[in-house]
Structure 1
Amino acid sequence: MLSKRHQQILRILNEEGTVTISSLAARLDVSLETVRRDVKPLTENGSVLKIHGAVGLAGQIGEAPFERRMRENAVAKQTIARHLASTIHNGESVMLDTGTTTSFVARELTGHRRLTVVTNSSDIARTLATVNGNRVYMAGGELRSDSGAAFGNSAIDFITRFTVAHAVISAGALDAGGVMDFDLEESEFARRVLACGERKVVVSDGSKFGRRGLVSVCRFDAVSELITDRDPPEEIADALEAAGTTLTVAGASSQKS
């Protein structure tokens, strides 16, 4: 029988992947020796593997960073994606940048038909290509090993040829100043995606609220709608209202603008 602390360890590993012994001790407010003792039966039954002063779930050791991020806040991302997909109709055009939330959007769109999809993400392209009469256009360029997405001038030049009904980007960080990310090329690509859409949508779970990114993507007045899973802090809600950006809390009964 697993103790409550064993269950806490497994939950942390499931959400975050590989975690050091010292980090687990600090998170659980116990000694290093207590964590080592707690981890021992989990390693003996094959649930957990020990690697270089750290532990991870047996099935997730060595998984790609993008796959690990897909598991983070997965329920919230799926809720957001399901709502957005319900607002996109068969036969419409949509442009999606690379991101775990936009990958969830692609999965929710697999029941749609005759979509025209433009993306720089190989994951999104694989999900939606060759099914239900869709047409998928993938931007070329340098393919990132961590995300399987293309970036660079050739990718930007490619997408700027399109005008789509729905332009959708994910966000690495959100504060009252607008949308931010942590990578210069990803930020520039996301900015160009929004410029290609009649409807300009940012999808982001609430864990991004209040974060400061390294690079600005855009202010809220460049965004038609923010779709998230919970109400943002007051300063962000006020900034959205001032910009005329619609705030949609997926699962809630109303929109705010």
Structure 2
Amino acid sequence: MRPADRHEKIVKLVHKAGEISVDDLAQTLGASRETIRRDLANLDAMGRLKKFHGGARVRSNTQVEPAVEGPFALRMAENLPAKRRIAHAAASLLAPGDAVFIDTGTTTLILAEALVDLPMLVVVTNSWRIAATLSANPDHKVFLIGGAYGADAGESLGQFAVEQIRRFRARHAFLTVGSVDEHAVMDFDAQVTEVAQSMIERVDIVTVLADASKFGKRGIFEVAPWSSIDRLVTDAPPPPAIAEALERAGTKIVVA
């Protein structure tokens, strides 16, 4: 069974039962407990269920839970259908044997799910969740960048991460950003921006994944001007000012 199909079955079983154990899921789906635990960790990170020791339950919709969850988990649940369309469109841009940097983000985590079944990718990422997801396919070669640990998003940051990124070269970089305007793609964290810029320096083709909610937002740190971005994969046509800027820069727009 493909990981994406198994994930959908797990979510349906959890919602049907309200709460279910790892052992029951493993027996029902014919998978190992280790595989189910990894699936639950990824689904929890995506905001689709709540993992606990030995099983999973339906994620609470009350106002109590967000107070104890980080911003990454909250963002994971935002615009989920759009992010899935973007992820599948982005996955179609890769070929077997491609080497790719993938930075940490909610859309790139969903992209990792879409890439599991592709053959023989070489992936360099600073996200343990993305590394764990892609490692479900033994044909993939996955490198997990180390560095200062950002617990909320589960990412490696800082100078050690940047130094390790610079030891690699790849054909592609798939990046998420905090905001998109007619001048550049931007983010709200200096260290996250540094990681993205380091990946851009080491690849031939740069692809930004951004849903329409990012259009027109003002970030704090400029990741890159449009002249450094080869493709924007999104779920809706950008506003005219942004579309014109991309055309001038030669950036291709892929609407999922």
Query: TM-score with structure 2 length normalisation?
Result: 0.74
Pair 1:94 & 2:91 matched: no
Cα drift, residue 132 of structure 1: 3.2
Any residues of structure 2 matched to 1:12-161 within 5 Å, and which? 49=62, 55-56=63-64, 62-129=68-135, 131-161=137-167
1:169 maps to a residue whose letter is L
Question: Is residue 194–residue 201 contact of structure 1 (8 Å, CA) maintained in 2?
Answer: no
Secondary structure of 1:168 counterpart: strand
For 1:105, what is the secondary structure of its paired residue?
A: helix
What is the distance in 1 between the residues matched to 2:69 and 2:215? 27
Aligned-partner Cα distance in 1 for 2:255–2:67: 34
Letter paired with 2:248: A
User: Partner residue of 1:222?
Assistant: 228
Aligned equivalent of 1:179, options 175, 185, 193: 185
Q: Which residue of 2 aligns with 1:12?
A: none
SS of 1:157's equivalent in the other structure is helix
Instruction: List gaps (5 residues or longer) in structure 1.
Output: 1-16, 18-46, 50-54, 251-257
- Judge conservation of contact 2:233–2:253 (CA < 8 Å) in 1: yes
Name 1:194's counterpart in structure 2.
Answer: 200
2:157 corresponds to which letter in structure 1? Answer: F
Q: Secondary structure at the match of 1:176?
A: coil
SS of the residue corresponding to residue 101 of structure 1 reads helix
**Matched residues in 2 for 1:100 and 1:48: separation?**
19
Any gaps of 5 or more consecutive residues in structure 2?
1-46, 48-59
Query: Structure 1 residues 248, 130: CA separation in 2 closer, same or farther (over 3 Å shift)?
Result: closer
Q: Rg bigger for which structure?
A: 1
Identical residues among aligned pairs (%): 40
Counting matched residue pairs gives: 198
Counterpart amino acid of residue 163 in structure 2: D
Please, which moves more after superposition, 62-71 or 189-198?
A: 62-71
Under a length normalisation based on structure 1, what TM-score does the superposition of the two structures give? 0.73
* Amino acid across the alignment from 2:133: T
Q: Is the 8 A contact 1:112 1:132 kept in 2?
A: no
